[in-house]
Every structure is written in structure tokens, then in C-alpha cells.
Amino acid sequence: MKILSKEVLSDFQGVRVISMEIFAPKIALKAKPGQFIALMVNKDGERVPLTIVSTGNDSIRIIFQEAGFTTRLLGRLNLQDTLYAIVGPLGHATDIKRFGKVILVGGGVGIAEIYPVAKALKEAGNNVTGILGARTRDLLILENELREASSQLFVATDDGSYQRKGFVTDILKELLEKDKYDLVYSVGPIPMMKRVAQVTKGFKVKTIVSLNALMVDATGMCGCCRVTVSGQTKFSCIDGPEFEAQEIDWEELTQRNRVYQDKEKHICNLNKLF
């Protein structure tokens, strides 16, 4: 549970994206693309889920944006610091097989989460197209890694500071209009994934997203992460984290992820973390 390496991947107006390698040999041995861990920074900490981006011999790598209280606390840890708890690998692994032509859409820190999937899909013989999106150039991460894992890579920035000005979904739409694809896989902010689902719907292409629902135990015990899929309640932690994008009740998910917004602000202010 010791931190073996720490790298700041991007830092834009105080918002940092950090990569950490954590000693966790048992988890490293079993982890597959698409799976996640739950961790606690200290004994008073929350349990938060984070995707396993890659594994080493004895370690796993996580990448996170300092978005809320716990991720900011995590970002303050340094080499040789030890996490209070880490458990995993959790959730179902991504279905890796030869689909044919696949598009991977990553937005913001979600780019880190499509990376292991892109790599595995390429190794399984797929033609991988990557589309990365960031608010601005300084927030774009893992471009080189994704370029390596893809046959072709597109980048969009909201402000046009790098490559295409606009959204990942603009590029996605153009690609789908030009050619036939067998799978779209996307991770990013909820509005982006929702928009991806809307775009792909018209093209009848299988679309998988990995959700970032709130969790407590992350082992199916509490139901905090429930999400409506095809009209049925599913638990993101044990039934997911991946679901068919078009079947998800996005509005409900958006609302449920805001349920502790006030408390989050409060605890951040209190600890002067914003």
C-alpha cells in the first residue's frame, strides 16, 4: 500500500492530474483491463473507487484528478507514504476480443481509463481509433501512450488550444458517418458519455461506457452505486462498472452523483483544500 512513484501529469490553474504507482502485489497479479480498486487515504478516509490504469510486477498504477476532497488528500501523499486501505481488483473486466474496428473515446481523466482497454483491444487484433478530449492543452494526458495503443488518434480541446477545437463527440460523429465501426468504448465526465450515447444511437453501434458512480464498500453490500440500466436497477460495483451506454438513465446518474455536493464543498472549505 506504499506509494512507489508519483508524477504530476498535468497542472492547470491548480487542478492537477496525478499518476501514482502503489505497491499491491496481489491486486497486480489478478487485475484485468476495466477493473478498479477502492482505497482509503487514512483511517478517517472515504472509500473511493479508482480505475487500475496499468500493473507492474508488484504494483498498480492509478491516475486521478484532484477533483474532490479525497482525491486532493491523495494528491498530497508522497513517495513512501502508505495508504490506509486498498482492495481489489473490483468489478467485471472489459470484454476483450476481436471486434474489428473500435473507437475509444476518453475525456479528461477518463483518458487514463480508456488506456488499458485500448492497449488490450489492440493486442487482441482490433483496429483501434482513439479520440481524446480535454478542456485545454495543459490538461491533456497520456497522448503518447494512446498514440501507441491506437492506429489513429484524434484530439479535441474545448478551447482550441491544441489540435481540433470542439468536442470529442464532433469527431466521433464524423468518423461514424464516414465508416462502419463495431464498438465504441468511452470513459469521461457524465455529460460527455451521455452525448457519446446520443451520437452512436443513430449509427446502431454497440457502445460501452464505464461509470464513475459513488460507492462505499464497492463489493455489492450497500447499493450506493445503483444505476438504472434498461429499466432495471444495477449496482455499478458488482454488475459494472461497464454498461451499454444507450440503456443508462443518465439523468438519474447525474443527480445521484451530486447527492453530497454540499457536504463535499463544506469539507473542502474546512480543510482549505480549494
Partner 1 sequence: MPKPAVKTKEVPACERILGFSEVTCGYTQEEAILEASRCLQCKDPKCIPGCPVGINIKQFIKQVTQKDFAGAYYTIREKNNFPCICGRVCPAEYQCRKACVLTKKDSPFASADSINIHFIERFVGDFGMKNGLKVNIIPDEKISGHKVAVVGSGPAGLCCAGELARLGVKVTVFEALHKNGGVLRYGIPPFRMPRDILDFEINYLKSLGVEILPNFIVGKTNDLADLFKEGFSAVFLGLGAGVPSFLGIAGENLCNVYSANEFLTRVNLMSAYEFPKAHTPVNIGKHILVVGGGNTAMDAARCALRLQKMNNIEPDTTIVYRRTEVEMPARRLEIEHAKEEGVKFKMLVSPQEFKGDDSGFVKVLKSLECKLGQPDASGRRRPVAIEGSDFEIECDLAIIAIGLKANQVLTSVTPEIKTDKYSDVIVNPQTMETSMRGVFAGGDIVGGEGTVIEAMGMAKKAALAIKDYLYQLPIK
Nearer to partner 1, 151 or 255 (CB): 255
Cβ nearer to partner 1, comparing 27 with 142: 27
Cα torsion for 115, 111, 23, 240, to the nearest 10°? -80
CB of 42 to partner 1, least distance (A): 8
CB closer to partner 1, 142 vs 218: 218
Buried b (16+ CB within 10 A) or exposed e, 20-30: bbbbbeebbee
Q: Which is nearer to partner 1, 111 or 253 (CB)?
A: 253
Least gap, CB of 131 to partner 1 (angstroms)? 30
Nearest distance, CB of residue 245 and partner 1, angstroms: 18
Helix, coil or strand: residue 149: helix
Nearer to partner 1, 90 or 102 (CB): 90
Nearer to partner 1, 27 or 149 (CB): 27
Residues in CB range of 57: below 8 A, 6 or more apart? 25, 28
Site residues (CB under 8 A) for partner 1?
26-27, 30, 40, 44-47, 69-70, 73, 84-90, 216-217, 219-224, 226-228, 233, 235, 238, 249, 251-252, 255-256, 258-260, 263-264, 266-267, 270-271
- Name the minimum Å distance from CB 253 to partner 1: 9
Minimum Å distance from CB 130 to partner 1? 29
In the complex with partner 1, which residue's Cβ is closer, 42 or 163? 42
- Over its C-alpha atoms, the chain yields an Rg (Å, rounded) of 18
Tell me how far, at minimum, the Cβ of 133 lies from partner 1, in Å: 26
With contact defined as beta carbons under 8 Å apart, do 211 and 228 qualify? no
**Least separation, in Å, of the C-beta of 6 and partner 1?**
21
Contact predicate 211/31, CB 8 Å: no
List, as own/partner pairs, every contact residues 51-54 make where C-beta atoms lie below 8 angstroms and the sequence separation is at least 24, other chains included. 51/112, 51/113, 51/116, 51/187, 51/210, 52/27, 52/88, 52/89, 52/116, 53/19, 53/112, 53/113, 53/115, 53/116, 54/115, 54/116
